[in-house]
Amino acid sequence: MFDPVRGQPDFPALEASIAAWWRDHGTYDKSLTRRRGAPRFVFFEGPPTANGMPHPGHCLTRTIKDLYPRYRTMRGQFCERKAGWDTHGLPVEVEVCKELGIHSKAEIEAYGVEPFIHKCQESVWRYMKEWETLTERIGFWIDLSKAYVTYHQSFVESVWWALAELFDKGLLYQGHKIVWWWAQGGTALSSGEVGQGYQEVADPSVYVAFPLLDDTGAPTSRSLVAWTTTPWTLPSNQFAAVKADLDYVVLRDAGGADAAEYIVAEPLAAGLGEKLKKEFEVVDRMPGAALVGRCYQPPFDTFRQPGSPATAPLAAGGHEAIAWRVVAADFVTTDSGTGIVHIAPAFGEVDYTVLVAEQARFAPGSGPSLINAVAPDGTFTDAFGMGSGRFVKDCDRDITRDLRSRGLLVHQEQYVHDYPFCWRADNDPLIQYPRQSWFIRTSQFREQMLANNAAIEWLPEHIKDGRFGNFLATNVDWALSRERYWGTPLPIWVCDATGKAEAIRSYADLLAKPGVLGADVFAKAKAANPDLSDDLKVHKPYIDAITYDSPFAAGGRMRRVTEVIDCWFDSGAMPFAQWGWPHQGHAEFESQFPADFISEAIDQTRGWFYSQLAISTLLFGPSEVSSPDVRAWPHPFKTCIVLGHMLGEDGQKMSKSKRNYREPSEIFDRYGADALRWFFLAGQAPWTSIRYSERAIKESIPEFLLRLWNVYSFFVIYARIDGFDPGSALAAPGMLDHADLATASGWRPVAERGELDRWMLSELNATAAEMTSRMDAYDHFGAAQRLSALVDAVSNWFVRRSRDRFWAPGRADGGPDANVEKTDAYWTLYETLLTISKLAAPFVPFTTEAIWKNLAGVAFSGRAPESVHLTDYPAGDAALVDHDLVRRMAVVRDIASLGRAARAGEKLKVRQPLQKVEVILADARADDAAWLEAHADLVCDELNVKQFEVCGEPDRYITRSVLPDLKKLGPKLGKDLPKARDALVKGDAAALLAALAAHGRAEVPLAGGGVAVIEPGDVLVRTTAKPGWAAAESPRAVVVIAKDLTPELIAEGLVREVVHAIQTERKQLDLDFTDRIDLVFATESEALRAAIEHHRDYVASETLAASLHFGTPPAGAEPHDIDGHPLAIAVAKASS
């Protein structure tokens, strides 16, 4: 027998007990054990960083990540879920720096790299407890005990292997990169960090004259005019760029005595005139191409020798000036400035590409080299004496003053724009700065990455060719190295004699090198501090201590480069590194690559989605470089659900300082995890940005969880009363699916049960089939909506329509007093609840488990599966779906709804019985009419009428009209459609329908000549109620009610009102529903008195009245108004 159920469930408490029960019973492990050997469903966990607090967005990802593995496991697949943690990177270092109260690299070095790294390793787990709590609390089943950790030695060695592969294939190289540089902190910042630090500032905006040189190298009075907002880059000027096909003009001040001539792009000439408030005349014009190759005098002689421009031999022959020369560049625009761009290759990425292109034109070794007057600490070097030792931005004013004094400053103004500052030292502006960096040649694999991407199933689909595809198409080489401390060390050792390098694949390989030294550094540290994690031996500074004999030069030593790598490479390597592959874990890797399914939020397109795809494509894609391990596209993941970002209550980004969202823990404590999960899964498509609203989460409870719980509670209450006990009726419960239940005593085949039961099981099985196909297509939103509709059908139709059976006399225990129809109702509802528990289990794992534990666990004392998550997902049995019945029942529900609408229109409340209701079906298909008439009782009961029929002479109540079926006739008639539509609407519908019925076709004359040939199916029939009837209509039916009331009907209506009044009294007196009462009435209305007398048996039985009489009611009897008739009622509990 079932345990009693609380009507008011405390979901948070319930969930806590379920979570504890899962833990104690190892339910997750059991769910895996069941499926061992079954086809795999491979899931990759994108590693979160435990260095930050989990927030509501993580609740969403963890819910989605839990849903599909649970579902697939129930569907019969084997899905191991290995957790993982992302542990490296600047955020960890920043946390530690904050703790230590330091900022710059110099301060870290002063503190000591070794203790700093120890701090980092400890800091990684700062919020571990919160993460583990969240994971368990939200019901995310994943194996935390076997989590991969990116700083572990085995993980690092896998990454080393990958990097060594790339290095050996020539895909890992060292080059320059212009980075956003935090000069005070001595480090480059990632684009994400830069993006966080933009501030609106006003910078000087200067227009500077670059005088062109004549053949002797002397400046002329004709100058290029360049524009810049960073005067401090002018001392490092190297070129001036123009657009070749753009027209340039030479301007002279019309009113000035001055002979100065300015060259600017023609479209910008007028603007310059306005700024200078001068009337310029155009004295010459030329295309940009004509300027290319001309030399000019740079604004400062920082790097220039006096005299003629230095030249060098070109690769193609001839000589050209090395620098301070006009070049052509496509990126030059006329949006702002002058159309002439000052190029300082050290301080801009596009500027740098100009230098690289120029270098390529010259004979090897003789081209321009990078010139740079700025030191890494952001101060000018001695090369620019005027600013030597001062921070560059502080020199802007002196630089412009100097230019003005030399007559080179054409114009100066303020320019307001966004400029990046350091995100954690917001007084420090960032500068663009060239650094040596290690790159992965990903751009060479652009086409392969696109091909790999093309095979991935992205949800939503537009990610593939949209955001992600675009990103791949504009791919640039991956800047891999970081000049930091806490990260995977770049495994490249360089010969100190020759500069030649080689990559190391594992720690063991390193120790096996000839003449290896320095391994003892870690050993000593470990001896001094036995708690030191062994994993740190592959980290700085210990790894840097290891050197070995150079294979390239006798006497040379191999020393590691100083850099660590971008931590995105770590996470992107997890498909193999999580197993330590290829050094170990072969079986695991082979059986779990690629992933069937991953999911993260959209911010991972350039993060984890990209790093995984890039690494996998380079390592496992076809390659001209020998590649032993080629895999078919797609890899390393086949399907990816890209989640939208979560917004706060106000629709803005969630922000701790704005307090515009509730902490997940608060949500769990108030409403429970299932409420949150259901809100995520059933509230909206997962890729829309979700507004995280407490109100919406709260409302997701009554709409689904509570409704399901109410049905369950109803069932248990009455099953206990009626002795419905499957545990004793069923010897071998199996998995409690349909076939298992069929072996129970007292169970009747569905075909023998009543219509309502057959309908319920039809809906159940149809829903299961549809949910399965939707879930297989990763459409949990559609599946959840279908499930919600099913629960509504159970609650608001099956249970409501079955109440009489549940309350009928007789038991449901299969004994001699058993009531067969009642027992059928129990078996139907029992099966429905069990199946819904299974269907909903991946969505709301706690609530369904609680229901299952009682309906199956308690009922069978352990003979049935102990957890709903250890059952098979119901796929729906088509043989149990009666489509006609489903359709007809929908018509009945429609009729009931229309009948109430018709009543409402006439202000005839449902308590007032009516004589008759008639229905006219729009689509008199099959035998629906006969079926409906056979179910007149049902309709009469729902609508409180005496008689129901399908109308035999519909023309009395309705008019029929025909409308074109646009979908069918549209393609057929094209432009004639409006005419045909007119003809159909205005024509004789009855005649047309008759013709169609008789001949299978009809011709409709069109206005202006011609005819349209109409066939059955080309038109739709619409029925409309004629005026004057109490009717309501829908596309399916018209319902007409008889609104005339006879005295008998009025009397019945009065009596129903009286009963209602008494029931309300009973409730107010807090009587038990089995208590009997004595009733005394007093009324001056003879009509009311007569009505009650006439129906006194009905009144007595409805209200459980032991006695009923008219008289003088005791004082305090409640006065009532019964449709205008006064009535005093005294209700007293009967003595017996």
Query: Annotated catalytic sites, by residue?
Result: 47, 86, 568, 604, 608, 653, 656
**Enclosing H/E stretch for 669:** helix 664-670
* Cα–Cα distance, 1024 to 1038 (Å, whole number): 7
Q: Which of 225, 673, 711, 719 binds RNA (CB under 7 A)?
A: 711
CA 322 vs. chain centroid, Å, equals: 53
Q: Does 420 bind RNA (CB under 7 A)?
A: yes
Tell me whether residue 1052 is exposed, middle or buried, using C-beta atoms within 10 angstroms of its C-beta: 0 to 12, 13 to 18, 19 or more: buried
**Are 238 and 343 contacting, i.e. CB atoms less than 8 angstroms apart?**
yes
Q: Residue 952: helix, strand or coil by DSSP? A: coil
Q: Does 412 bind RNA (CB under 7 A)?
A: no
3-state SS record for 555-590: CCEEEECCCEECHHHHHHCHHHHCCCCCCCCHHHHH
Q: Which of 96, 341, 793, 914 binds RNA (CB under 7 A)?
A: 341
**Are 131 and 48 contacting, i.e. CB atoms less than 8 angstroms apart?**
yes
CB of 832 to RNA, least distance (A): 12
Quick one: 3 or 629, whose CB is closer to RNA?
Answer: 3
Quick one: 215 or 335, whose CB is closer to RNA?
Answer: 335
- The stretch among 22-30, 339-347, 834-842, 1127-1135 that binds RNA (CB under 7 A) is 339-347
CB of 807 to RNA, least distance (A): 4
Q: Does 302 bind RNA (CB under 7 A)?
A: no
Q: Which of 199, 414, 584, 688 binds RNA (CB under 7 A)?
A: 688
**Enclosing H/E stretch for 727:** helix 726-729
Q: Does 443 bind RNA (CB under 7 A)?
A: no
Q: Segment 181-210, which members bind RNA (CB under 7 A)? A: 191-192, 195, 198, 203, 205
Q: Does 337 bind RNA (CB under 7 A)?
A: yes
Q: Which of 27, 73, 184, 713 binds RNA (CB under 7 A)?
A: 713
Residues linked to residue 494 through DSSP beta bridges, in sequence order = 501, 559
Q: Does 796 bind RNA (CB under 7 A)?
A: yes
Q: Does 1098 bind RNA (CB under 7 A)?
A: no
Strands (E), 936-1018: 945-950, 958-964, 1002-1005, 1011-1014
Residues linked to residue 1133 through DSSP beta bridges, in sequence order = 1077
- The stretch among 45-53, 416-424, 765-773, 881-889 that binds RNA (CB under 7 A) is 416-424
Q: Does 112 bind RNA (CB under 7 A)?
A: no
Candidates 828, 818, 810, 814; CA nearest to 753 is 828
Q: How far is CA 647 from CA 8, 688, 694, 1127, in A?
A: 31, 10, 12, 58
Q: Which of 27, 123, 150, 233 binds RNA (CB under 7 A)?
A: 233
Q: Which of 25, 214, 245, 331 binds RNA (CB under 7 A)?
A: 331
- The stretch among 154-162, 619-627, 863-871, 903-911 that binds RNA (CB under 7 A) is 903-911
CB of 704 to RNA, least distance (A): 9
914: left (phi over 0), alpha (psi -120 to 50) or beta: beta
Instruction: DSSP letter for 281, please.
Output: E
Instruction: DSSP letter for 111, please.
Output: H
Quick one: 536 or 921, whose CB is closer to RNA?
Answer: 921
Quick one: 389 or 1017, whose CB is closer to RNA?
Answer: 1017
Q: Segment 574-603, which members bind RNA (CB under 7 A)? A: 602-603
Quick one: 795 or 915, whose CB is closer to RNA?
Answer: 795
CB of 7 to RNA, least distance (A): 3
- The stretch among 280-288, 356-364, 789-797, 833-841 that binds RNA (CB under 7 A) is 789-797
Q: How far is CA 1050 from CA 949, 1041, 1045, 1055, 1121, in A?
A: 22, 16, 6, 9, 15
Quick one: 930 or 966, whose CB is closer to RNA?
Answer: 966
* Cα–Cα distance, 504 to 789 (Å, whole number): 60
Q: Which of 14, 332, 574, 1105 binds RNA (CB under 7 A)?
A: 332
Q: By CB under 7 A, how many residues form the interface with RNA? A: 108
Q: Which of 61, 184, 230, 867 binds RNA (CB under 7 A)?
A: 230
Give every CB contact of residue 405 below 8 A, 6+ residues apart in sequence: none
Q: What is the contact mask toward RNA in residues 995 to 1034, using x (rule: CB under 7 A)? A: -------------------------x-x----------xx
CB of 179 to RNA, least distance (A): 10
Q: Which of 32, 375, 696, 880 binds RNA (CB under 7 A)?
A: 696
Instruction: DSSP letter for 936, please.
Output: H
Q: Does 901 bind RNA (CB under 7 A)?
A: yes
CB of 304 to RNA, least distance (A): 18
Pairing verdict, β 1105-1110 and 1077-1082: parallel
| Torsion 286-291-297-299 (CA) sign | positive
**Are 145 and 136 contacting, i.e. CB atoms less than 8 angstroms apart?**
no
Q: Residue 326: helix, strand or coil by DSSP? A: strand
CB of 226 to RNA, least distance (A): 6
Q: Does 342 bind RNA (CB under 7 A)?
A: yes
CB of 331 to RNA, least distance (A): 6
* Cα–Cα distance, 1069 to 1056 (Å, whole number): 20
Quick one: 147 or 1021, whose CB is closer to RNA?
Answer: 1021
Q: Does 1073 bind RNA (CB under 7 A)?
A: yes
Quick one: 174 or 229, whose CB is closer to RNA?
Answer: 229
Q: Which of 335, 531, 953, 1070 binds RNA (CB under 7 A)?
A: 335
Q: Which of 43, 44, 131, 227 binds RNA (CB under 7 A)?
A: 227
Number of Cβ within a 10 Å radius of residue 394:
13
**Amino acid sitting at position 337:** G
Q: Segment 489-528, which members bind RNA (CB under 7 A)? A: none
**Enclosing H/E stretch for 919:** strand 914-921
Q: Residue 380: helix, strand or coil by DSSP? A: strand
Q: What angle do CA 821, 824, 827 make, to 5 degrees?
A: 155
Q: Does 470 bind RNA (CB under 7 A)?
A: yes
Using only the alpha carbons of the chain, give its radius of gyration. Answer: 41
Q: What is the contact mask toward RNA in residues 646 to 685, using x (rule: CB under 7 A)? A: -----xxx-----------------------------xxx
CA 794 vs. chain centroid, Å, equals: 31
Q: Does 699 bind RNA (CB under 7 A)?
A: yes
**Amino acid sitting at position 722:** D
Q: Does 769 bind RNA (CB under 7 A)?
A: no
Q: Which of 280, 542, 714, 931 binds RNA (CB under 7 A)?
A: 714
Question: Among all chains, which residue has been given the structure tokens 């992965």?
Answer: 440
CB of 703 to RNA, least distance (A): 5
Pairing verdict, β 1125-1133 and 1077-1082: antiparallel
Quick one: 946 or 1022, whose CB is closer to RNA?
Answer: 1022
Q: Does 816 bind RNA (CB under 7 A)?
A: no
Q: Does 165 bind RNA (CB under 7 A)?
A: no
CA 8 vs. chain centroid, Å, equals: 33
Q: Does 803 bind RNA (CB under 7 A)?
A: yes
CB of 911 to RNA, least distance (A): 4
Q: Segment 918-977, which members bind RNA (CB under 7 A)? A: 963-967, 970-971, 974-975, 977
Q: Does 1053 bind RNA (CB under 7 A)?
A: no
Strands (E), 23-111: 82-85
Give every CB contact of residue 749 below 8 A, 6+ residues apart in sequence: 742
CB of 767 to RNA, least distance (A): 16
CB of 134 to RNA, least distance (A): 23
The two three-digit tokens of residue 1077, written as one number: 């009462």
Quick one: 113 or 1132, whose CB is closer to RNA?
Answer: 1132
* Cα–Cα distance, 192 to 568 (Å, whole number): 12
